[in-house]
Amino acid sequence: MPAHDNPPHKGEAQGLQLGIDLGGTKIEGQVLDPYGRAQAIKRIPTPREDYGGTLAALVGLVSSLEAEVGPVAGIGVAMPGSIAPASGRVQNANSTWLNGRPFGKDLARAVGRPVMLANDADCFALSEAYDGAGQGAESVFGVILGTGCGGGLVVEGALVRGPRAIAGEWGHNPLPWPSEDEYPGTRCWCGRRGCMETWVSGPALARDHHQETGQMMTGEEIARAAQAGDAAARASLDRHAERLARGLAMVVNILDPEVIVLGGGLSRLSHLYSELPDLMRPHVFAEDPWIEVRPPRWGDASGARGAARLVATGVQEDSGQEAVGKDAQQQGAQRQDAQR
């Protein structure tokens, strides 16, 4: 039943879905119509190391977008880490100020209505599987290669989350088949050594290049230098691609996805799409070891678009919102009535 007796606002009646990508440095909100067309987009800085500030920023973003398009039918959020089903608290977020917090419950109370939540890489994978680079594939593994390293799995259009809400967390498995000089590896923020994130993320590529050359450069700068004939830059890209291939081959041996789609800042490194399939071949345990690796259709927008798809598909993490669901809906109805 509806949360209020008044007729639905235009935005609700049209089924508008608000998706928010909560990143480490920026928060992006997109309002999509049922056909996937963006009706409003807004980006704001993330209040780093500030839990209360993060909640306030999200509330302000929702209010700003709804002021533009009217109240929406639902809100989805792509978040770092995930909600631990047992406790309803954040786990495994590299935005560490979220860890251990009842984020789903707090956010629902703050915005005055229930909120759909999922890991940011899961949202990326859902977006690209639904109407992006993986559209039509039976199974899609979406990979985030940015500040961190994450992954999400979609099979037959549905997210695979697992009972611990950690499906796809390949970034915190160790680099497979390491050489002597790669072991035990750099210590990760999670406390372990040699995680894939410490080898294939954007900061990992920059750190490896600096260790070999003494030069501080971003991934894109390294790529440009390589294209200009810099042999050391080319060598850094080669080491990165070979390590990435080993990690992805491990994923293929376990999950056997039909398609891999890359996202995050390093997905713009065009050489990865031509080189990775051949680099993965020696490590894939199959008669036919070739797998297609594709660039994303939606790029940086996939996190927010996937979060909006959570509303459309009804996907929800066990966010601990049940205790505040009715109160949140009542508060939301009062706010929407006031806007009318």
Measured distance CA(214)–CA(234) in Å, rounded: 15
What is the CATH superfamily name and number for domain 133-296?
ATPase, nucleotide binding domain (3.30.420.40)
DSSP per residue, 66-122: HHHH---SEEEEEESSEE-TTTSSEES-SSGGGTTS-HHHHHHHHHTS--EEEEHHH
Summarize the confidence of residues 225-240 as an average pLDDT.
98
Mean per-residue pLDDT over the chain, rounded:
90
| Segments of 156-281 assigned E as strands | 158-160, 259-263
Residue carrying the six token digits 């680079």: 133
Measured distance CA(177)–CA(51) in Å, rounded: 39
Q: CB–CB of 37/298 below 8 Å?
A: no
Per-residue model confidence (pLDDT) at position 314: 73
List, for residues 275-314, the tens digit of each pLDDT value. 999 999 999 999 999 999 999 999 989 999 999 999 987 7
Q: Does domain 10-119+303-339 have CATH number 3.30.420.40?
A: yes
Query: 32-41: long-range contacts at Cβ-Cβ below 8 A with a sequence spacing of 24 or more?
Result: 32/305, 32/308, 34/312, 36/130, 36/131, 36/305, 38/301, 39/69, 40/65, 40/68, 40/69, 41/301, 41/304
CA 179-185-189 angle, to 5 degrees, is 155
List, for residues 116-130, the tens digit of each pLDDT value. 999 999 999 999 999
Q: Is the pLDDT of residue 5 over 50?
A: no
List, for residues 175-211, the tens digit of each pLDDT value. 999 999 999 999 999 999 999 999 999 999 999 999 9
What is the domain partition of the chain in residue ranges? 10-119+303-339, 133-296
Confidence of residue 14 (pLDDT cuts 50, 70, 90): low
pTM over 0.85? The answer is yes
Q: CB–CB of 86/76 below 8 Å?
A: no
Measured distance CA(159)–CA(299) in Å, rounded: 19
CA atoms 262, 93, 129, 161: torsion sign: positive
**Same fold yes or no, 10-119+303-339 and 133-296:** yes
Pairing outcome for strands 74-79 and 116-119? parallel
